[in-house]
Chains A and B, each alone.
Chain A
């Protein structure tokens, strides 16, 4: 059984704020989903656990910078919630002591 404390830990890892009611509901919901998916443990599996991507393989490109047209740059920056001059603004992440 998953606890409210475990839900809080997951929410912390996933950076999502949850209300108290939702936390409680989520314990029930996630329990019922886990009870369902638990049946994969019954399958007889004698193959390698690593994902095999089949016929799909890595495609590489050279690691070189591309110049973005000015209008694309502007369109991209226009989507940012907060700007300072021509830079995207974020809050200070280093505490001042």
Chain B
């Protein structure tokens, strides 16, 4: 028996190296655990039928690596990710497999090519376990907008796992995978990571190629990793990042040259003025203050900072994002691929197909986006929101003159009850209050576990969000690893 709850990528790699177990043993252990838990948690929409074949191929490569360099010291070298079982969000294409974005409009769509991140992971030799549940087209913060049912939080099954990458987070948290990919447009990796006690990273805009990821808000979207530890997250990050000719928004290693403010240790900034609202749970605030004390003990300098326009972030985001959604989702027309519903003529086919294929939240955001982009409202909403986005970015750039990491809680409260916020879209949107800024500014941000809130006898994970200047993911890993040791 492999103890999956204790396992990390690093540990699994050592075991594979030492021959304590094979990639097939590892994959089988995860398949068994998924069989036990997925019926209740519903993290996966599909478990791939060829998992063991993939693992056999990994074992073959491990054997090959061992025979090649076993002559010298008995040790051998191969990719840290070789044979590591991954869960993949359902909006990332794997050639030949269904990728539905948890939408009826793509229920039977088979990807015709690999996303760049998948191509990279295939080269590392990872094992793909399955595709994970999500809010339809990544629109939501709870996976309740999935066309195929909600994902439950493994820590308390009456609560959501977060979203939109809730399936990926739950898969990892229930020990149904050792690593996972998600996508983050306004917090869709960081918020579920926080709710499920995991590390989740939204990279600098352009750091990871989005070729083969279904677009939601193209000026905001990033693919990123979930890990059980900061080191695991960093390993996945290093495997998937990089400039890509297939995504012209990707950046090179020299696009940004981040300069640290702290001479010895990174300096931490706290936007205190943004943490006073009554929308923040007491436990979250207490835990946040405890975390600051931990950083002080670790010898970090803590500075109060002001981000004068940060309170407009969510409002600007909920103009820009639906505008981009309405444009990106116009490609689903029932002609080239996906669902087709017959109407009375060609144009009526569109109305029928899109009316039946898109879920409620997708329809709502498409209409909202159409509204803010329509003549008469364009200047007041879309242009205005872009200007606000600009001044918020300036605020952050100014703050990063004096600090290296900005700390906030990841979410205003721990995981909420299933159904609690479905009737009120604005209440649901407020979940993103701390996370959307990183998408608006394009800066990297990572959520790391910071403790628990005990509600009704259940321990619910809390998360700490660290934001860094453009191109400085390294500082997040550095600070995150130190913090993690104190937990």
Chain A residues engaging chain B, CB cutoff 8 angstroms: 2, 7, 10-11, 13-18, 22, 26, 29-30, 32-34, 36-43, 45, 47-56, 58-59, 61, 72, 75-76, 78-82, 88, 90-93
Contacts and interface: CB of A to CB of B under 8 A. Distances in A.
Contact of B312 (A40, A55, A81): A40
B345 A91 contact: yes
Contact of B340 (A32, A38, A82): A82
A95 B315 CA distance: 45
Given A7-B367, A39-B312, A80 B110 contact: no
A4 to B, nearest CB: 12
B354 interface: yes
Given A40-B385, A55-B255, A59-B248, A16 B335 contact: no
Q: Is the interface of B mostly helix, strand, loop or mixed?
A: helix
A43 B355 contact: no
Nearest to A56: B249
A40 B388 contact: yes
A32 B426 contact: yes
A10 B425 contact: no
A43 B388 contact: yes
Contacts of A41: 380, 384
Interface string B369-380: 011001000011
B248 to A, nearest CB: 4
Contacts of A51: 219, 386, 389-390
Nearest to B354: A16
Q: Of B251, B319, B387, which is in contact with the most chain A CB atoms at under 10 Å from its CB? A: B387
Contacts of B326: 14
Contacts of A78: 110
Nearest to B252: A55
Interface stretch (B74-82, B227-235, B267-275, B358-366): B358-366
Pick the most buried of A22, A39, A55: most chain B CB atoms within 10 A of its CB: A55
Contacts of B110: 75, 78-79
B442 interface: yes
Contact of B315 (A29, A32, A39): A39
B392 to A, nearest CB: 9
Contacts of A43: 309, 312, 387-388, 391
A18 B374 contact: no
A16 B384 CA distance: 27
Given A55-B206, A80-B337, A92-B345, 19 more contacts: A10-B374, A33-B318, A33-B425, A34-B371, A36-B315, A37-B318, A40-B388, A45-B388, A48-B387, A52-B390, A54-B205, A56-B206, A56-B249, A56-B251, A58-B248, A75-B96, A78-B110, A79-B338, A80-B335
Given A16-B358, A55-B256, A90-B346, A81 B366 contact: no
Nearest to A39: B315
A37 B315 contact: yes
B387 A36 contact: no
B368 interface: yes
B351 interface: yes
A53 B355 CA distance: 34
Contact of A32 (B351, B381, B425): B425
Interface string B297-313: 00000000000010110
A81 B381 CA distance: 37
6 contacts: A14-B330, A17-B354, A36-B426, A39-B315, A56-B251, A90-B346
B18 interface: no
Contacts of A18: 355, 363
